Structure 1
Amino acid sequence: MFQIALMGHGVVGSGVAEVFYKNRKSIEKRAGQEMEIKYILDLRDFPGLAYSDKFIKDFETIVNDDEVKVVAEVMGGLHPAFEFVKRCLEAGKSVVTSNKELVAAKGAELLAIAKAKNVNFLFEASVGGGIPIIRPLHQCLAANEIDEIAGILNGTTNFILTKMIREGMAFSDALKLAQELGYAEKDPTADVEGIDACRKICILASIAFGKHIYPEHVYTEGISKITLEDVSYAEAWGGVIKLIGRAKRDENGKVTIMVSPAFVSGESQLASVSDVFNGILVRGDATGDVVFYGKGAGKLPTASAVVADVIDCVKNWGIFKAPFWVAEEDDAVLDYKDTEIAFYLRVRCDEADKALNKAKELFGEVTPLRVPSLTGEVGFVTGIIGEEQAQKAAKAMESAGYPVLGKVRVLDY
């Protein structure tokens, strides 16, 4: 009998218990072992549940019980999750988690402990929720040299942008609706400012490139400055705006990584990913482009991924098979200012032709974008240009009397 402990009984934690007890027979059959949840750690009381007798309030009970072989951490946050997970691994217990903040910040350290103790640290639910992405990246695509990953990694921002694109809803109204529907938190900062997507692309890049990429080294920009005018110019260009997390390795092994809004062509597979769905594109040298698609969050999809990791730990007890990467080298991540990309800009002007001529002078050749309903301004898309050069050119446009009203990167996916 494999005894399991569950740390946290919030949305995901209660989902884990629900999935486990609902599908227990098939779960045990797939694991090849009888299983039981022995403890559920939470400071709150949950009377009236069929498993109310499982609740405890002291973590020491879990870490000191040798019968507990697998621990599922679904508390969220960095502390005390990190301390609890570290001690469980050091005690010879396998740990699974849905905690993207924990994996993005401490993954290399925790994986090293798991490997030394010959236990597992698995985190399928930390990136795609119910979308399988960690295991395929680590196992199914292992024969590939993966040089690039890009995707829509946050369902909340994708929902907001979808409402802006399809219904002409202002950002503030779309955010309010997302909160009413439970897609966005009361404090939506982690979602709308790209922090959540940053943590996820860091995890994917760490797996793909074998070195820990820390969120604090990643340039991150959210969608809070995107306007309906920007959406209209994207449509005139032939695409849509998406919040994209992307990581690319160059021939020297250096990593360019960023989270930002971007123009994406209407022909791209990512352009059709809408509402709360996520889409993750992986470019391998053998497979070409592979796209993983589905709901990136939600109680039961995320819980399903957590339970699947529990099954994996039980089936492979005594065998380390988690993804693995080493602590990051200091110069692993390139300064985003040293990279090149195309940009869309919209500027205020009285005469569009004069503004476009100035843009050509500063940016090189540009493609004009016109939206008939928008007057007193003009939009354009640059060619490939250095990030730092684009910033200087945008400031020069403003100094020349053409205030920049919007600036978004243009990607080729």
Structure 2
Amino acid sequence: MSLRRLSNASRTLSANSLKERLSKLTTTPLVPVATALQANIDFVPARIPRKRRLQMLAVALWSVGIILATVMFLLLCSYPPLWPFLGMYQIWALWIDKSPEHGGRTSPWFRSIKFWTYFADYYPASFLKEADLPADRPYLFGYHPHGIIGMGAVATFATEATGFSAAFPGIKPHLLTLASNFKIPFYRDVILAMGICSVSKKSCSNILQGGPGSAITIVVGGAAESLNAQPGTADLTLRRRLGFIKLAIRHGADLVPVFSFGENDIYEQMPNKRGTTVYKLQEKFKAVFGFTLPLFHGRGLLNYNLGLMPYRRQIVAVIGRPIHVTQTENPSLEEVMRMQKLYIEELERIWNTYKDVFAKARTRELSIIA
């Protein structure tokens, strides 16, 4: 009996002690999840100009173009009466049509539609011309940096939204991309109409042999450079890229360096310095598939700081002075290295001339890291 009383007394004491301690605690009111999210996400105002909405729509559609084309093709495949037509289309696209490696089938009308104006005005994207380019020879434009996707390259060389043909009459530009993009139904036809072609060696040669005024644009840094696309930086993968130099010499195509200020600023990328696990995984992915997947983010359709759309940040592609190239069928290593030295010097001149105008928020200077 005494033990039971002692136990009850202990319980009462413990309960009173607990109440006393709890009463001394200062509690903070719970914040609803929706309220917390709203505090961290900068939402788009309900009323924004119609023009800005159209600009955002154009960029959004281009950003998911591959997905839209794939979904559309799969939906059509779900309708059996269309199978014969879709089958013939695939046979033609994959085994018969050689346009991606023979200069494409550029549509001046398609390159000039209003859609691309909205696309370019979103950032806005533009270019600065430093010198005239006589249309009596072929040209090879080297575009730097790659960025995450290369939106500035698309706006400048694959559309007429920035006025390329008016600024360089007689020059027929072809932006080059991976051959795998031409295996995607419907999407391939869109980029072919934009003048985009395969970046294969055969494709480059075929275009440059097309006569005076033929031009190709190669995003030289490729997938490796996209891993270093951090805002405020200009880390280029260029030193070991000699293939495009050899190509220009063999075809007598003048080299034109292009530096795109702002290309690295339109997306934020997860830190992935050399040696980190993220960097190693991205390198392995690139080794297997030929391209890489930077872990990046931008803005969304309804907010300014969370999503996969690029930020509205100015892109200015400075098209530098042409470097004259003397045609040589089998250039020596010394000649290739000499031309590369001239090319890098011109690229660095562009950076030093315009960095205080278009790269005021840079965190470090241009660097050739590989």
Structure showing greater radius of gyration is 2
TM-score scaled by length of structure 2: 0.27
Higher strand fraction (1 or 2) = 1
TM-score scaled by length of structure 1: 0.25
Higher helix fraction (1 or 2) = 2
Structure with the larger RCO, 1 or 2 (CA within 8 Å, 6+ apart): 2
